[in-house]
């Protein structure tokens, strides 16, 4: 694939000496650049880099060219290095610092090309072995931000749940759908809840009525509605969320204006065992999203959920009491939660000081 800037993306041949040299040179140059916070590649690592890739089974390595000059590389792994055989793991994306153009543009082209290859490749055999790849230290941290990023696979309810169980959430932007496992994860601590005064005031406002699972699809679509821009929730993702809702796994909390009966706020997510993966929330009236969030927390506490994942920290989530934990800590809490049995409430608990208008 070649873009309007003349950048050409090609699949590398790991048996071609010239391309092997280019791959190692780009990764090494990037590792030594100011952009990378990774350690420079040791000589032994550089000498055995391609051999270690080949030991991973069937790696996909993409090279970006400006004319005839290789300027970027993406290293993608499948099989046991991912949470599902239908997806690829982006182990590294690096662009040489010698390139005079926009390096971030080249990196995005490499990631997009990896997605295209992942969608086009034949589905490999299932594997029961899940492990971290034993490869060179990743150097493209300025691109991946120390995130584990996965691409590929048609989004289905099964793939969606597999990603959540692995600790990856779907980040959908237009036609691009990537599974992300960041180094820092935002969660809400369910064991100790001390609502800020702004939330307490919002929960006391009489003009709001809260319901559960009364308008799931409406909440999902409202969350994806960004005025002036394309929805970040594609139709196939909405279909998957709806299918999970029909299976009793995805839930919404709705906030209604008591007088107008209009939907003015809400939040939705997916339950896996005692994990609730919050996906998104919205508001059309002041404080409506705060009320939805607080009501959801009381639902999770009443049902003895152990982990409320809210993905990435924002100032709004921080103001609600969310905290960040490391990937290692998140995976520990995830493992202790996903196989427990928790039933999402059908009514808003009295602790939320709301009444359920569902019936």
Domain ranges of the chain: 7-153, 186-352
* Residues 114/88, Cβ–Cβ less than 8 Å: yes
Q: From CA 241, how far away is CA 244, in angstroms rounded? A: 5
Domains 7-153 and 186-352 share a fold: yes
| Secondary-structure class of domain 186-352 per CATH | alpha beta
Average pLDDT over residues 104-124: 85
| Top-level class of domain 7-153 | alpha beta
Torsion angle of C-alpha atoms 310, 160, 224, 187, degrees rounded to 10: 0
Q: ∠ CA(128), CA(134), CA(139), 5° rounding?
A: 125
- Predicted TM-score (pTM) of this structure: 0.88
Which uninterrupted H or E stretch holds 62? strand 60-66
Q: Are 241 and 235 in contact (CB under 8 A)?
A: no
| Tokens matching residue 49 | 């880099």
Rounded CA gap, 306 and 342, in Å?
9
Report residue 92's pLDDT band, with 50, 70 and 90 as the boundaries: very high
Average pLDDT across the chain, whole number? 87
- State pLDDT tens for residues 272-328: 999 999 999 999 999 999 999 999 999 999 999 999 999 999 999 999 999 999 999
Instruction: Give the separation between CA 62 and CA 8, rounded to whole angstroms.
Output: 10
DSSP at 249: -
Collapse the DSSP code of 107 into the 3-class scheme (helix H, G, I; strand E, B; otherwise coil) and give the result.
helix
Supply the pLDDT for residue 71. Answer: 96
pLDDT at 154 over 70: yes
pLDDT tens sequence across 166-193: 999 998 766 667 899 999 999 999 997 7
* Residue 294 parent element (H or E): helix 288-302
């Amino acid at each position: 694939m070649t873009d309007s800037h003349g950048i050409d993306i090609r699949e590398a041949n790991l048996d071609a000496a010239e391309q092997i040299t280019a791959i190692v040179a780009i990764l090494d140059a990037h590792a030594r650049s100011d952009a990378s916070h990774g350690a420079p590649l040791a000589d032994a690592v550089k000498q055995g880099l391609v051999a270690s890739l080949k030991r991973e089974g069937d790696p996909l390595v993409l090279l970006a060219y400006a004319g005839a000059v290789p300027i970027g590389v993406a290293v993608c792994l499948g099989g046991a290095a991912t949470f599902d055989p239908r997806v690829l793991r982006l182990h590294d994306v690096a662009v040489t610092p010698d390139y005079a153009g926009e390096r971030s543009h080249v990196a995005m082209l490499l990631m997009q090309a990896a997605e295209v290859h992942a969608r086009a490749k034949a589905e490999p055999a299932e594997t029961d072995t899940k492990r971290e790849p034993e490869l060179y230290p990743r150097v493209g941290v300025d691109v991946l931000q120390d995130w584990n990023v996965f691409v590929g696979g048609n989004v289905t309810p099964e793939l969606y749940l597999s990603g959540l169980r692995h600790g990856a959430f779907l980040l959908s932007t237009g036609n691009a759908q990537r599974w992300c496992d960041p180094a820092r994860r935002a969660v809400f601590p369910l064991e100790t809840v001390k609502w800020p005064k702004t939330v307490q005031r919002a929960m006391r406002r009489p003009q709001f009525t809260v319901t559960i699972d009364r308008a799931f699809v409406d909440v999902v679509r409202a969350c994806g509605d960004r005025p002036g821009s394309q929805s970040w929730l594609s139709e196939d993702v909405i279909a998957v969320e709806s299918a999970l809702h029909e299976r009793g796994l995805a839930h919404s909390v709705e906030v209604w204006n008591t007088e107008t009966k209009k939907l003015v706020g809400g939040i939705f997510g997916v339950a896996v065992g005692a994990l609730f993966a919050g996906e998104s929330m919205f508001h059309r009236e002041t404080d409506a999203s705060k009320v939805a969030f607080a009501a959801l927390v009381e639902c999770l506490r009443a049902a003895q959920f152990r982990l409320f994942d809210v993905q990435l920290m924002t100032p709004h989530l921080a103001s609600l009491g969310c905290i960040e934990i490391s990937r290692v800590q998140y995976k520990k809490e995830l493992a202790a939660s996903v196989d427990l049995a928790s039933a999402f409430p059908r009514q808003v608990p009295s602790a939320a000081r709301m009444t359920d208008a569902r019936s």
